[in-house]
Amino acid sequence: ALALGVDTLELDLQVTADDVLVVAHDAHIPAKRCLSRGGKRLSGKTPAIRQLRAKALAGYDCGSLVSPRFPRQKLVPKARIPRFEEVLTLVRRTHARGQKVGLNVETKIVPGRPKLTPTPERFAALVVKALRRHKLLRHTTLQSFDYRTLAAARRLAPKLRIVLLTSESTTDYPALARRYRPYAISPHHAWIIRRDVVALHRLGVRVIPWTANTKRAWRRLVGLGVDGIITDDPAGLIAYLRGKRSQATSTEPRRSLR
């Protein structure tokens, strides 16, 4: 993603048994994408990341199997689930080289499954502490479907920009914006319409939908005037946007693309 020139890295966080932040979407070791410490295929119910210490988690090979959802993905054998600290170190090195990339960090936490994560307060404290250590607070937005972590993080770091994630449902976006005063709201890309975008912009709130992976979806979102797009295909989206800019420049030189 960095090599492609994205302006923000979106990533999800889980927490190990010894309170180490790791970059992972799933609460459990994904059997379809990871191999056991001995290089064998996983079957049945896999361990939750919260059940494992960071050292044990590092033994899983999550780079040797092609993900069923992403058949074009390039394999990186022996790749492990990275620690958040490692990603922050990478970002700082990237900044030192002059490439200013931001972070959009999601706390993966579900209220009805408290054994899979620390408390919202502890989760938020771990994230804020790591960002402060690497001096990346001002380069980061913190997002979640569980707004308890966002509230806790804001108490610890009032200037940290928060983003409200919303799921596939009809939502009163302006009411959410007034209540939580977020930097942005991130709805599912199919559940946002122009009226919502206009209303949020009037309140000074950005709109950054997730997770759009097709030209049809990108075309619709650009037409709505959204402020950013979360995608699993950054190369495809960048190429699409560059094509739109080239077209706009050649036909209407005074217009710019958001």
For residues 19 and 50, the answer to whether their CB atoms sit within 8 Å is no
Q: What is the pLDDT of residues 105-132, one digit of tens each?
A: 999 999 999 999 999 999 999 999 999 9
Q: Quick one: pLDDT band at residue 250, thresholds 50, 70, 90?
A: low
Q: What is the pLDDT of residues 179-226, one digit of tens each?
A: 999 999 999 999 999 999 999 999 999 999 999 999 999 999 999 999
For residues 10 and 211, the answer to whether their CB atoms sit within 8 Å is no
Residue 213 neighbours by CB distance under 10 Å: 17
The conformation of residue 51, written as its DSSP 8-state character, comes to: G
H/E segment holding residue 178:
helix 173-180
Reduce the DSSP state of residue 107 to 3 states and report it. strand
Residue 166 corresponds to which amino acid?
T
In the beta sheet, which residues pair with residue 106?
12, 143
Q: How far apart are CA 9 and CA 92, in angstroms?
A: 13
